[in-house]
Amino acid sequence: MNSNSNNNLDPPDPFDPKSLRIDPANDPGSGVKKLLLHVPVRKPHRQEFFRCRRDPDYRVPMAILELKEEREFYAVTPAVAADLAGEVRSVEMRICTSRSGAVFLWPVPLPAEDGRRNAWHETAREAAEHAETKWVRMSANMGAGCYDVSTAPDGLSDPNWPEHSFGDLLRLAFGKGRLIDAFEHPVLKRLRGE
């Protein structure tokens, strides 16, 4: 009993390495932040695992125009889109991130208004839905005419979403001349052969 009470009274050894460890978990870090200056608009690459943000504030139905050769997407305002029926398509724009932290907007095709079914579009929408809760990889299956969707095993860390609002992300993607809000937009002129 004596020895126990003596031990309790003994001051801790200041030279004990256990008490001297500097825990890196308490390190505040350098404070350096990467700036997000551009958000590409694209579909997920076939070799990347990605996630879609589940938050309903980070998705919006919209019309887009795609220049296939240039692989460029343009946002089209509803007023202009109404008169460009053959050129634009309706999508749900969603914010996504890859495992390596690349942030991008994915124009997920919406169901056709005439009710026609398209397996590519349907499987893409299903991939987006799965990607809300799991890391997903999507690759084209040409034989089956749809996307194959694979999910990563559980246990991978959740994505770090950018702090920007969805409006800011859309501005980063379409702000520099990528918004078609008038018939005089250079892209429409080009399509009209002017």
Tokens 């801790």 found at? 12
Nearer to another protein, 18 or 68 (CB): 18
Q: Nearest-5° angle of CA 98, CA 129, CA 104?
A: 30
Strands (E), 4-157: 50-52, 59-67, 72-76, 88-98, 103-109, 136-141, 146-151
Cβ–Cβ under 8 Å, residues 133 and 157? no
CB nearer to another protein: give 156 or 182.
156
- Please state the closest distance from residue 16 (CB atom) to another protein, in A: 8
Q: Greatest CA span in the chain, whole angstroms?
A: 100
Site residues for another protein per CB under 8 A: 14-15, 17-25, 29-30, 32, 47-49, 98-101, 152-153, 155-157
CB 163, min distance to another protein, A: 16
**Which of 2, 100 has the CB closer to another protein?**
100
Least separation in angstroms between residue 172's CB and another protein is 22
Least Å distance, CB 99 to another protein, is 3
**CB-based contact 39:173 (threshold 8 Å):** yes
Closest separation in Å from C-beta 143 to another protein? 22
143 burial type by CB count under 10 A (0-12 exposed, 13-18 middle, 19+ buried): exposed
Spatial distance between the Cα atoms of 183 and 88, rounded to a whole number of angstroms? 13
CB 98 within 8 A of CB 50: yes
Residue 117 corresponds to which tokens in the numbers above? 């079914």
CB of 27 to another protein, least distance (A): 9
